[in-house]
A and B are shown apart, each in its own frame.
Chain A
Amino acid sequence: MRTDPRRRADYLGLREALGDMLLPVLVAAVSFLAALAMAGALASATLAARWQGDAAAELTIQVPQPQAPDAANKGTRLDAVMNALKAMPEVADPQVMSAQSVSALISPWLGADPAQIGLPLPAVISARWTGANPPDALGPALAQLTPGTLVQTGTLWASRVAALTTSLQACAAAILVIVALVAAAVVAVATRSGLAQRRETITLVHALGALDGDIAERFAARITLLALAGSAAGAVLALPVLAWLAALAAPFTGPAQIGDVFNLPPALMFALPGLPAAAAAIGWGTAQLTVRGWLRSLT
């Protein structure tokens, strides 16, 4: 009796006007890039958290004249510092570095065997800080006990890692914003192409009493479907690449957690399905704005 329901419902002919694969392919490409950017942001955050923790916990204590008697004349200055460190619950695993280790540390500046120069070398103690607060009071306390003792913490490196992480995450965020803008531009161009192809039809249904919202909704529905499909394809295609990158980064990030598919961070596994949803939202919003703006040119 009538035209088939799909054709009847698509009275604007958008299945043909927006029927080529260019839009989904381009959306798939930008989604692929977005997936990489998201992975970069999440990976840098994970690595930074780990590295910041490690760097901030490292303690290096220099004790000049280590064999000289301490202030109480009960032992050497080195013994006094070691005893003090062992008595502090926030300090873990204090160990005096061997003379060979110290020589190896300073050999780049003083030659292969610094002991031959006859410089008085300090004793070096390595330890880890387990306290919740920064070890700011540790240096003054040890210096009071054995004057001249220096404490170096990893907070400087931790702050540098934090700065690096922030800049990496800002880059990733900028890439995501650019990718979203590119996706919106692609959708706008495709929508305008569809409008140009269906100008006469739209003018007619407008004259027959179609509301701007009805026409915009039909375009938006079609574009949303294409963007959703394209973005889902892009996200799926990104999975093996992300898995390969995760495998490369595995020595730095540690073993994968139970339940991690493809060895990817759980946060990424939650974020990836959001990509098609975001692409669909961008497609819907951009198509609505483009069509409504175009319809304004009609009386």
Chain B
Amino acid sequence: MVKFEDVWLKYRHPARQSDAAAEALRGISFDIPEGGFRWLTGPSGAGKTSLLKLIYLAEHPAKGRIEILGTEAAKISRRDAALLRRRIGVVYQDFRLLPQLSAYDNVALPMRLARRNETQIHADVTEILRWVGLENRLHARPDELSGGEQQRIATARAVVARPKLLVADEPTGNLDDEQADRLMHLMLALNRLGTTVVVATHNMELVQRYPAPRLTIEHGRLTHAD
């Protein structure tokens, strides 16, 4: 489902010579089976977000082999990569909601990009907004929502198309305990329905509350894998 084999990631520094690059990830190898749930833990700056970017195809590895949903990432065309991304839901740490769209339309965006019909979009979007407790905030623009509400909209957008793989980067960072629990229940419910879930967090209390296998990363290296 998600397989990394000796994966290295380097970020090129624009101001330096082309051979100068910072190594964000070094020799990462792990395997998450279909329907698995993994916590991705580690201190800030350890490389959690970089690893997630490789999973949701936002970066190319400098070295190594990555397989996502049974597809080798390096061997697919741009079009197939786009179609593969539609099967991956992503909750960004900084939400990345489109400011000109309402909460409803932000959540509906992945389905519209996939050219689903509006009837199905309406049913799925209203259901998921009810799940995240924002059924009364359909019209609100992101700048009219609190940080926690934006986080929940971002989560709703990530899961509305029922992705086969859900990747979340600090999804509970802006939520109170009640909302964080509600979100975790949503992700666990999706996981029970067959979605593979990877959640990055440095909130160890949350990890202990919802026990699951862990990948721990420190200084770009995988130091622990269940």
* Chain A residues in the interface with B (C-beta under 8 A): 1-3, 7-8, 10-11, 13, 16, 200-201, 204-212, 214, 299
Smallest beta-carbon distance A11→chain B, Å: 6
* Chain B residues in the interface with A (C-beta under 8 A): 56-60, 78-79, 81-86, 90, 96, 98, 100-102, 104-105, 108-110, 112-114, 138-139, 157
Q: How far is the CA of A114 from the CA of B84 in the complex (A)?
A: 97
Smallest beta-carbon distance A133→chain B, Å: 63
CB pair B82–A212 under 8 Å, yes or no, is yes
Smallest beta-carbon distance B199→chain A, Å: 18
Which of A2, A201, A208, A211 meets B79, CB within 8 Å?
A: A211
CB pair A214–B104 under 8 Å, yes or no, is no
Chain B: CB-nearest residue to A208: B110
CB pair A209–B100 under 8 Å, yes or no, is no
CB pair A205–B102 under 8 Å, yes or no, is no
Which of B57, B98, B108 lies at the interface centre, i.e. has the most chain A CB atoms within 10 A of its CB?
A: B98
CB pair B59–A209 under 8 Å, yes or no, is no
A10: B residues at CB distance < 8 A: 100
| Nearest 7 pairs of A and B residues by beta carbon | A209-B86, A209-B85, A3-B102, A3-B105, A208-B110, A211-B82, A2-B104
Chain A: CB-nearest residue to B53: A299
CB pair A3–B104 under 8 Å, yes or no, is yes
Known: A8-B105, A208-B157. 5 other contacts (CB 8 A): A2-B105, A11-B98, A201-B98, A207-B90, A209-B84
CB pair A8–B101 under 8 Å, yes or no, is yes
Chain A: CB-nearest residue to B141: A3
A-B contact pairs, 7 of them (CB 8 A): A2-B108, A2-B138, A205-B109, A208-B90, A208-B157, A212-B78, A212-B79
Which of B81, B102, B113 meets A208, CB within 8 Å?
A: B113
Q: How far is the CA of A273 from the CA of B110 in the complex (A)?
A: 40
Q: How far is the CA of A8 from the CA of B86 in the complex (A)?
A: 19
